[in-house]
Chain A
Amino acid sequence: MKNGTKNIIKKELTRVFTDKKLILSLFILPGVLIMVMYSIMGNLIDNMVSDIGDHVPNVYIQNSPEGLEDAIQAAGFKANINYLKASDETASVQDSIKAGDTDLLVVFDENFMDTIYAYSGNGDAIPEVKTFYNPSEEYSSTARDSFVNSALQAFRQTLLAERVGNVEQLQIFYIDKVPESSVVMDEGKATGKSLSMLLPFLINILLFQGAMSLGVDAITGEKERGTLSSMLLSPIKRREIVNGKLISLAILTSLSAVIYVVSVVIGIQNLQGGSMGDISKLRFSPVELVQLLTILLVLVYLFVAVVAFVAVHARTQKEAATYVLPMYIVVMLASIMTMFSGGADKGIKYFALPIYNSCLCIQNLLVGELTIQQYGLTIGTLALLAFLVSALVTKAFNSEKVMFNA
C-alpha cells in the first residue's frame, strides 16, 4: 500500500476515534438503542401474552346439557359462565361479543342429549354445538380455543366412552405419543434457516446505512468544507487519496455493521424468547468462514465505492443525501426479495446479480449449502463492480469539473 493511502487511512480513523461524540453517535448509541427497542418490544409482547392468560372470559352457554358443567370443571376451564335457556334471546349476547364485552357464546341444540342417546347409526341426526366469538378480539378467540379444546373435548370423550364403552377401540393408532422425540434436525442448520431469512437483509441494509452516513461526511462534507482541496494539492496521486478514503470508510462501515448486526440478533432473540435459534449452535467450517468474510469485505467495498461515487458528485451534504437515497432503496429491494424467496433453489444466473447475490450467498452459507460456483460468481461480480465504481470515483477526483466546479 502506498504511503499516501496509509496516511489518509490513519487520519480518517483518527478523526473518528478521537471524537467521543462521533464514537457515541456512530457505534454505541445505535447498538444500545436497537437492543433497548427490541427488549421493550419483547417485554410488551410478554405482558400482552400474560394478560390474555390472566383474563377470565365471560361466556354464555345456551341449552347447557347435563354433564357439561362437570366436564368444564374437570378440564379446568375458568370463566364467568352464564347459562341461558332455550327461550332466551342471544342477539344481545352476540352484539356484546362484537363490542368486545362478552367473549364467547356457546349454543347447544335443543334436546342435545336426547338426540345423542337416540343415535343408532345410519343417518340418524347428529346434534351441533355452535360457538359465536370475535376473532378480532384476543380474549374472545383465546376463550373459544380454550373452551373447544379443553372443556368441549373432555365432554365429547365422556359421551364417547358412554356410547362405545372402550374409547381405545376408536383410537386405532397413536401419532407421536412423545412429540419431542420425533424431531430429528441439525440444530445448527435450523438456526441457520431461521436466521437466513432476516440476516442477509439486515447485513445488506445496515452495511449500506453505515457507508451512507460515514461516506457522505467524509467526501461531500470535506469537499464542502474545503478540506479535500488541501489533500488534492499534496504530491500524491488521486488514486491514493481515493483508496485511502475508501479503505478507511470500509473499515468504519464494517465496524458499525458488526455492532448493528450483533445488536439486532441479540435484540431479536430477546424479542422472540430464543425462537430464532441459539446463535452459538451455528457452526461454520474454516472455508465457510473465509467465504462469509470475503463476501462481506467485497460487499462493504462496493457499498463504500457506490456512496463515494454519489458523494463526490454532490456539492452539498444535503444534495448527497438526496442522491444516495434511491441507491439505498435499490439495496433494500434486492435484499427484501431474498427474504421471501422461500429457500427455493436458485439457478446460477441469479448469483450474477450484484447485491441480490450476496444475500443469496449468505442465506446458503447459513444452511451450509453454498456451492463453489455460486460463491465464485458472487465474489467475481461484486469485485468487478466495486473495481469499476472505484475507478469512476478516481475519475471524478481527477475531474476539475467535479472537484472545483470548473
Chain B
Amino acid sequence: MICINNLTKVYKLTRKQMQEQKTKKNMKKAVDQLSLKAVPGEIYGLLGPNGAGKTTVLRCVATLLKPTDGSISVGGIDTLDKSEEIRKKISFLTNEIKLDPQFSAKYMFNFFGRLHGLDEAAINERREYLFNYFGIKGFEDKKIDELSTGMKQKASLAVSLVHDPEIVIFDEPTTGLDIVTARSVTDYLKLLKEEGKTIIISTHIMTEAEKLCDRIGIIIDGRLVMEGTLDEILKDTNTADLEDAFFELYKQNSREEACI
C-alpha cells in the first residue's frame, strides 16, 4: 500500500532555471499538500498535464526525492526512515531511467537481481518467466544498444521486476512505445493487479487512464484536484468522458505558475 499524506515538494531554482521559467522567485512548489492512497490489487492513475508534478510525486514514492513537507509510507515504511527497505519492495520505471547500452538484457537482469540480493537460481527462474512473457528470450544476449525501442522498454520493464516487487510505480508507461508494445505493457500491468500488487502510474493519455486505472487522481499545478473512479469523476464534474472532465477541472484549477 502507498499512503501519501500532505506531500509538498519545493524545488530551489538555479538562476538559469529562473530565466527559463520566466520567474523572479527562486523556489518552485512542484507538489502542494497532496494526499492519496493506493491499495493492493488496484491500478491508481495520476492524470495531469506536463509539469503538473506527477513525476515528482512518483520519485518521492520511489525514495529518489525527499518530501519537503508531509510524509509517504510505502508498504508500511516511511520513505525517510528506511529507503533501502522500501527499494526492496518497489519497482520504479520511467523513460529517463535506462539500462547500460553496452550490456545484454540478460547481463543487466542478472546484475540487478544480484543487487537485490537474489540467488542465481531465483534470478534464472525469474528471467525465464519474464523474458518469455515479454518475448525477449531470443534477444537476451544482444546488447541493449542493438535492441529496438520497444524491446529496450520491455527489457527495462523485465529488469525492474526482477525481484517480484509488491509495489509497482510506473511513470508514463506507454509514452514513446508503438501500439503493440504499449499493449503488452498495459496487459502486464493488469496481470500484476490480478496478482494483488499495488500499482501507481502517471499518464497524460486520457484513454489509457480510462481503460487501465481503477481509480484516477487528477493533478494540476501540483495539487490533487479530484480523485475517484472514472464514474465518480464523470458524475462529480457532470461530464460525458474523462477528457471533458479533465478540461473542466483544468479551467477551474489552473494558475499561471506554482511559485512561492
> CB within 8 Å of A: which of B78-126?
84-85, 87-88, 92, 96-103, 107, 111-112, 114-117
Nearest CB in chain A: distance from B74 CB, A: 12
> CB within 8 Å of B: which of A389-406?
400-401, 403-404, 406
Contact B116 A235 (CB under 8 A): yes
Select A235's contact among B87, B100, B103, beta carbons within 8 Å.
Answer: B87
List B contacts of A404 (CB < 8 A): 59, 64-65
List A contacts of B159 (CB < 8 A): 230
| A-B contacts besides A229-B96, A230-B160, 10 pairs, CB < 8 Å | A4-B115, A7-B114, A11-B103, A15-B100, A15-B103, A225-B98, A233-B62, A235-B116, A404-B64, A406-B56
Q: Tell me whether B12 is interfacial, beta carbon within 8 Å.
A: yes
- Distance of A237 Cα from B92 Cα, bound (Å): 17
Contact A222 B100 (CB under 8 A): yes
Which interface class (under 10, 10 to 19, 20 to 34, 35 or more) fits A?
20 to 34
Q: Could you list 17 A-B pairs, sorted by A, with CB under 8 Å?
A: A3-B114, A4-B115, A11-B100, A14-B103, A15-B100, A18-B102, A19-B102, A233-B87, A233-B97, A234-B116, A235-B84, A400-B65, A400-B66, A401-B12, A403-B64, A406-B59, A406-B65
Write the A253-294 contact mask toward B (1 if CB under 8 angstroms, else 0): 000000000000000000000000000000000000000000
> CB within 8 Å of A: which of B132-168?
159-160
Select B97's contact among A14, A226, A235, A400, beta carbons within 8 Å.
Answer: A226
Q: Tell me whether A227 is interfacial, beta carbon within 8 Å.
A: yes
Q: Tell me whether A231 is interfacial, beta carbon within 8 Å.
A: yes
Contact A231 B11 (CB under 8 A): no
Nearest CB in chain B: distance from A233 CB, A: 5
Contact A233 B64 (CB under 8 A): yes
Nearest CB in chain B: distance from A220 CB, A: 14
Q: Tell me whether A37 is interfacial, beta carbon within 8 Å.
A: no
List A contacts of B101 (CB < 8 A): 225, 227
Contact B84 A237 (CB under 8 A): yes
- Distance of A232 Cα from B160 Cα, bound (Å): 12
> CB within 8 Å of A: which of B54-79?
56, 59, 62, 64-66
CB-nearest residue of chain A to B156 = A230
Contact A234 B96 (CB under 8 A): no
Select A234's contact among B56, B99, B115, beta carbons within 8 Å.
Answer: B115
Write the B43-61 contact mask toward A (1 if CB under 8 angstroms, else 0): 0000000000000100100
Contact B112 A230 (CB under 8 A): yes
Nearest CB in chain A: distance from B171 CB, A: 11
List B contacts of A3 (CB < 8 A): 114, 117
List A contacts of B115 (CB < 8 A): 4, 7, 231, 234-236
- Distance of A233 Cα from B103 Cα, bound (Å): 18
Contact A230/B87 with A7-B114, A400-B65, A406-B65 known, Cβ cut-off 8 Å: no
Write the A197-237 contact mask toward B (1 if CB under 8 angstroms, else 0): 00000000000000000000000001001110111111111
List A contacts of B65 (CB < 8 A): 400, 404, 406
Select A11's contact among B87, B88, B96, B111, beta carbons within 8 Å.
Answer: B111
- Distance of A400 Cα from B65 Cα, bound (Å): 6
CB-nearest residue of chain A to B14 = A405
- Distance of A11 Cα from B116 Cα, bound (Å): 15
List A contacts of B107 (CB < 8 A): 14
Select B64's contact among A7, A14, A227, A232, beta carbons within 8 Å.
Answer: A232
List B contacts of A11 (CB < 8 A): 100, 103, 111
Select A15's contact among B62, B85, B102, B112, beta carbons within 8 Å.
Answer: B102
Listed from nearest, the 3 A-B pairs whose CB atoms lie closest are A234-B115, A235-B87, A226-B98
List A contacts of B111 (CB < 8 A): 7, 11
Contact A235 B85 (CB under 8 A): yes
Nearest CB in chain B: distance from A234 CB, A: 4
List B contacts of A226 (CB < 8 A): 96-98
Contact B88 A235 (CB under 8 A): yes
Nearest CB in chain B: distance from A226 CB, A: 4
